[in-house]
Structure 1
């Protein structure tokens, strides 16, 4: 099933130019790619929120954890 929308000539021209600049043959391909990118962005955003939740739980359980960079440098220096 296909749908028809009404957009201004200027917007159509802008979309056609954007599609061409990005190597798409049609505006539809551009919009499909944009939609996939949006889904991926939302997924990344959810993952970041989950990471933040894990960090908050770890802080509640263990408190603030010291930076281990200095210890890593010492280990590497010992060989």
Structure 2
């Protein structure tokens, strides 16, 4: 399954990638309309966006499917 990217969210929300990143990282210094913030969060949820940190946590806990590498000799 393809992971959603910040760029994809930004395109759908019609904002910059920087704005999406700052909203998803809960940057309190960012001045953005509440409607824009909610639109970004809704799109991220709909696309199944998970931060790199969250993906690592899921893999480390064993509750997610970890990447596998096979070697054939």
User: 1 or 2, which has the higher helix percentage?
Assistant: 1
Structure number with greater CO (CA < 8 Å, separation at least 6) is 2
Q: State which structure, 1 or 2, has the greater radius of gyration over its C-alpha atoms.
A: 1
TM-score between the two structures when normalised by the length of structure 2? 0.25
